[in-house]
Amino acid sequence: MTYNWLETLQVSEEKLKSNAKKTPVLYIAAQDCTGCAMSLIVSNEPSASSTLLDFISLEYSDLLSTSSGFQVEGNKEAIIEKYKGEYILCVEGSIAGCDDFLRIAGKSVKDDIIHAAKHAKAVVAVGSCSSWGGIAAAAPNPTGAVPVTEILPEGTPIALVPGCPPIAEVILGTILHVHFHGELPELDKKLRPKMFYSTSVHNSCPRKPFFLTKQFAETYNDEGFKNGWCLFKLGCKGPTTFNACETIGWNGSICSPIGSGNACIGCSEKGFWDHRNGLSGGK
Ligand code: SF4
Ligand code: F3S
């Protein structure tokens, strides 16, 4: 499928032409692997470079900033003051239950996020760790990791963009909706943007015809697998996983986990990693 971001986000030609002021974005990383930020920078629709040059001003990112140390940390507070109520706060990673696990420049990252969220126009929880706790919160959860929603007050305007990592276009689409429309897109009951998370991976899977005719691969090397049959018997979680992997996908819609020959392990659902399928020895 060819994804058209302007259509999905309902950005008219007029709106695009009148785009003048860039929206400031702060991107704070908590307990993460940086995979979400890596995913974000390979966006095609729109490209990450176009997003950065035309629509948003990435004012703080400890991973993507060219400067470091006091320069970049000092800028974070200055930006919060300067753009109160105007900036988008993105949070990648789960929040450690104890500050001893996570400090940057001697400061509690948890307190930094609470402070930045207080003055943000909108908060975007980027990735499954930030949305649900993710890998850091997997048993035995040594750091007492929690999702970002657990440290923010009720009523904080927040969208969850789960995935391990999330699709680049989904992260940027959520941010750009705020940029163009001044608010988060419509969310489902789990606070995920409906425009990206309302269809199961199974529903748009190219192997679904084989599911319907009950033609299943039994191993990763049998004839059924080679014929592109359904991976359900190999533990595929596509039927219970809501994400845009088989509609938007990665790298200009040319790849996805199932498209690459793997069953879905439900990386964008609550409870991942503990509740993934048994492919890697999980529960
Ligand atoms: Fe559904 Fe998975 Fe089979 Fe695709 S491979 S049809 S998502 S069960
Ligand atoms: Fe994750 Fe399944 Fe998509 S493993 S990337 S939700 S196909």
pLDDT of residue 67: 82
Q: Which residues contact 190 (CB under 8 A, 6 or more apart)?
A: 160, 197, 270
Mean pLDDT (whole number) for 42-65: 92
Task: Give ligand 1 pocket residues (Cβ under 6 A).
Answer: 201-202, 205, 207-208, 211, 230-232, 236, 238-239, 258, 263-264
pLDDT of residue 277: 59
pLDDT digits (tens, 9 = 90+) for 174-208: 999 999 999 999 999 999 999 999 999 999 999 99
The answer to whether 14 and 265 are in contact (CB under 8 A) is no
Top mutation candidate among 201, 203, 236, 273 for ligand 2, by most atoms within 8 Å of CB: 201
CA–centroid distance, residue 264 to ligand 1 (Å): 8
CA–centroid distance, residue 237 to ligand 2 (Å): 8
Backbone φ and ψ of 79, nearest 5°: -70, -40
Does position 248 have pLDDT exceeding 90, yes or no?
A: yes
Atom of ligand 1 at shortest distance to CA of 238? 7
Write down the pTM of the prediction. 0.94
Mean pLDDT (whole number) for 23-46: 95
Backbone φ and ψ of 58, nearest 5°: -75, 95
- Minimum-distance ligand to the CA of 229? 1
- Minimum-distance ligand to the CA of 216? 1
pLDDT-derived band at 7 (thresholds 50, 70, 90) equals very high
d(CA 18, CA 13): 9
Q: Whose CA is nearest to atom 1 of ligand 1?
A: 202
- Minimum-distance ligand to the CA of 228? 1
Written as six digits, the tokens of 189 are: 């009951």
**DSSP sequence for 134-172:** TGGGSTT-TT--B-GGGTSPTT--EEEE--SSPPHHHHH
**What is the DSSP pairing of strand 88-92 with strand 23-29?**
parallel
Does position 112 have pLDDT exceeding 80, yes or no?
A: yes
CA–centroid distance, residue 31 to ligand 1 (Å): 31
Q: Can you list the domains of the chain with their CATH numbers?
A: 5-195 (3.40.50.700)
Task: Give ligand 2 pocket residues (Cβ under 6 A).
Answer: 163, 201, 241, 243, 245, 256-258, 264-268
